[in-house]
Amino acid sequence: MLQDTIAGIATAMGEGAISIIRVSGDDSISIVSKLFRGKNLATVPSHTINYGYIYDPETNKKIDEVLVSVMRAPKTFTAEDVIEINCHGGILVTNKILELLLVAGARIAEPGEFTKRAFLNGRIDLAQAESIMDIIHAKSEQSLALALNGLDGRVSRLIKEMREEILNIVANIEVNIDYPEYDDVEEMTNDLLLPRSIEIHEKMLKLLDTAQTGKILRDGIKTAIIGRPNVGKSSLLNQLMREEKAIVTNIAGTTRDTVEGYINIGGLTLNLIDTAGIRETQDIVEAIGVEKSKKLIDEAELVLLVLNNNEALTPDDRELLNLTANKNRIIILNKTDLETRIEIDELPSFVETSMVLERGIEVLEDTIKKMFEIGDIGSTDMTYLSNARHIAKLKQAITSIEDAINAMNLGMLVDMVEIDIKNAWYSLGEILGEEIGDSLLDELFSKFCLGK
């Protein structure tokens, strides 16, 4: 596969000023040269942009006026010869040039194959490769900064440093086992190994402590807006998003399915989901929406429970209070422009709002920020683990180190303890892609867009 020369459209499909078709592989220059009329691409200096035209070799028909960037290995993204054709941004002309490249000998790139080649050719490690996708999907300045720090290798360096410390321990154990006759080698006993293992364990825990913050910044918080019908859930969604995202009427049960949107609050992304009003209903369609809403309560990382200030608590309200009691929850007392009839003394805490008067939204946003303690994120070190796969591998490494520490405390032989220490080293290596199988690689890079 790496011997093939691949081609793909690197820009978003659709009409625009410019489209870029990227070509990578040993035959990139010769393939593009079959279509390009201008300077001789085989002789131009590397990392230059060359003006000319793309022609159909069979019909000799001019296709487009282009700029062709020539970048020779190894100083390219993929560490292979790379050509980028900058053409006019139209669907027809872009696809036509790609078609001609495929006829000339290139193969259509698989999703993420350019980045996969960069990884396989040693240009970047797997953590950096995944950070590229995070940059593309970043929805806030903080999540973008987090992704950029991953791309420039900060996360990788942290992991590599811990692996190096573990490797030094393993090397000392191996020398003790294989060459016990060497007098100048420090004997690696549990008494010496234990404090070093504890130190590594503490570093891992410290990194894990920041991982939840990193995951929040990267993925945002899945936030469900729940409540009975007609308490103001859709109005709340519209107020938070500053747009008419959801249909609002005074008819109970207007929202029958979930309505979703994204907002940014002080660098924190909320993945908002306005749910169908939860109540007993004989309407089949509405009942499906109600069941979906109840399921979202379990999945949500934050629940905004909306209650009607103008009505006494109903059995449905009390059920929702019980269902969300152990969740990250903010109770919103809406319709405070009307007379208070709800039993306020039964509510643990709440934020007062009025969608009619557009009052209380700022207080709600501040409450969310305080709940997730992100007020000073912008001024802190942004080197966090945030990828769910990375966090899972770090947890595996922590478990292995803990097993090793427990074994040492029980007085087990050092060569037995070494197994757990090696497992920690392997788990950390999987974050960087140094200990990973082909099937997982294929799965990871399949999530990338074409041409990336």
CATH of the domain at 325: 3.40.50.300
Residues 89 and 155 in one domain: no
Give the Cα separation of 16 and 447 in Å (integer). Answer: 25
Count the alpha carbons within 13 Å of 414 in the hemisphere toward its beta carbon: 19
Q: Flag whether 111 is in a domain.
A: yes
210 CB-contact burial (10 Å; exposed 0-12 / middle 13-18 / buried 19+): middle
Q: What is the model's pTM?
A: 0.60
Residue 75 has pLDDT above 80, yes or no: yes
Over the stretch 25-43, which tens digit does the pLDDT of each residue have? 999 999 999 999 999 999 9
pLDDT of the residue at 228: 85
Q: Flag whether 253 is in a domain.
A: yes
Contact predicate 276/283, CB 8 Å = no
Q: Flag whether 445 is in a domain.
A: no
Contact predicate 299/222, CB 8 Å = yes
pLDDT of the residue at 441: 63
Residues 233 and 362 in one domain: yes
Residues 230 and 208 in one domain: no
Question: Which CATH number is 147's domain given?
Answer: 1.20.120.430
pLDDT of the residue at 69: 97
Q: Give the confidence band of 376 by pLDDT, cuts at 50, 70, 90.
A: very low
Residues 230 and 285 in one domain: yes
Q: Give the confidence band of 158 by pLDDT, cuts at 50, 70, 90.
A: confident
∠ at Cα 320 (315, 324), nearest 5°?
150
Residue 147 has pLDDT above 70, yes or no: no
pLDDT of the residue at 137: 66
Residues 197 and 172 in one domain: yes
N-terminal to C-terminal alpha carbon distance within the chain: 17
Omega prior to 74 cis, within 30 of 0 = yes
Residues 211 and 283 in one domain: no
Residue 283 has pLDDT above 60, yes or no: no
Over residues 142-155, mean pLDDT: 69
pLDDT of the residue at 254: 41
Residues 305 and 342 in one domain: yes
Residue 281 has pLDDT above 60, yes or no: no
Phi and psi angles of residue 290, each rounded to the nearest 5 degrees, phi first:
-65, -45
Where is pLDDT greater, at 153 or 444? 153
Residues 318 and 418 in one domain: no
Residues 318 and 398 in one domain: no
The domain boundary residue, chosen from 123, 154, 174: 123
* Tokens (6 digits) for 261: 């949107």
Lowest mean pLDDT among 95-104, 143-152, 193-202, 225-234: 143-152
Domain that holds residue 363: 220-377
Q: In the sheet that 82-88 helps form, which strands lie side by side, from edge to edge? A: 36-38, 48-56, 61-71, 82-88, 18-24, 6-9, 107-108
| Domain count for the chain | 3
Residues 169 and 281 in one domain: no
pLDDT of the residue at 358: 85
Residues 158 and 32 in one domain: no
Residue 259 has pLDDT above 70, yes or no: no
Q: Flag whether 448 is in a domain.
A: no
Residue among 399, 398, 393 at smallest CA distance from 432: 393
Q: Where are the beta strands (DSSP E) in 97-241?
A: 107-108, 221-227
Residues 279 and 230 in one domain: yes
